[in-house]
C-alpha cells in the first residue's frame, strides 16, 4: 500500500506554515539521509537540512507556501507552489511572492530527495539596490 498521500499531506502542512515550524519538525518529514537541492546549494542529511532551514528562517518575518495539487507516480511527486514571504532587509520588508516547484522522492514514508526549482534572481537579487537593477536589465534584454 502506498504511503504517498501521508507524505504529501505532511509536506503540504509543513510548508503551508513554514515560518512557525521548529527545525525538529523536519524529522517527521525527511529521511535521516535526505538531500535537498535548490538554487543556493545541496544539503545532505537531516542535520544539514535543519541547519539550512534555521539559517533561512532566522530573520524572515513571514514565509508560507500555497501548494497546488500534486502529480504523483510510484515513489515520486511533484508540486508547483507560490512562496509568500517577507524579510526586513529585502524590498523594505514588503510581502513578496515567488513561484516555484518541487520534485520529491519518497522512501519509507519520508522524503529522501527534494529538488526545488525557482528563480533565485527573482527571489533575492532583483530586490537588492545595485544588483537588482543589473539583474532586471539583463532579463529585459533577454526578453526583447
pLDDT in tens, 36-53: 999 999 999 999 999 999
Instruction: For residue 63, give the H/E element and its range.
Output: strand 62-67
Cβ pair 88, 62 in contact under 8 A: no
Buried b (16+ CB within 10 A) or exposed e, 27-45: eebbbeebbbebeeeebee
Interatomic CA distance for residues 133 and 136, integer angstroms: 5
Indicate the domain borders of the chain: 4-119
Q: Which pLDDT belongs to residue 108? A: 92
Q: How far separated are the first and last CA of the chain, in Å rounded?
A: 51
pTM: 0.86
Scan for cell 533565485, then name that residue.
120
pLDDT tens-place string over residues 18-35? 999 999 999 999 999 999
pLDDT tens-place string over residues 104-135? 999 999 999 999 999 887 776 666 666 565 66
Pick the CATH number of 4-119 from 3.20.20.70, 3.30.365.10, 3.10.450.50, 3.40.50.1370: 3.10.450.50
Amino acid at each position: 500500500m502506498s504511503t504517498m498521500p501521508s507524505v504529501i499531506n505532511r509536506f503540504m502542512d509543513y510548508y503551508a506554515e513554514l515560518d512557525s515550524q521548529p527545525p525538529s519538525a523536519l524529522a517527521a518529514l525527511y529521511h535521516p539521509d535526505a538531500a535537498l537541492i535548490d538554487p543556493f546549494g545541496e544539503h545532505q542529511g537531516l542535520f544539514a537540512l535543519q541547519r539550512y532551514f534555521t539559517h533561512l528562517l532566522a530573520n524572515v518575518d513571514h514565509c508560507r507556501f500555497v501548494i497546488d495539487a500534486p502529480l504523483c507516480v510510484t515513489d515520486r511527486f511533484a508540486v508547483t507552489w507560490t512562496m509568500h514571504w517577507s524579510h526586513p532587509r529585502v524590498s523594505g520588508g514588503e510581502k513578496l511572492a515567488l513561484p516555484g516547484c518541487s520534485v520529491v522522492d519518497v522512501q519509507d514514508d519520508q522524503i529522501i530527495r527534494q529538488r526545488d526549482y525557482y528563480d533565485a534572481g527573482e527571489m533575492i537579487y532583483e530586490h537588492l539596490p545595485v544588483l537588482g537593477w543589473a539583474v532586471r536589465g539583463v532579463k529585459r534584454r533577454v526578453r526583447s
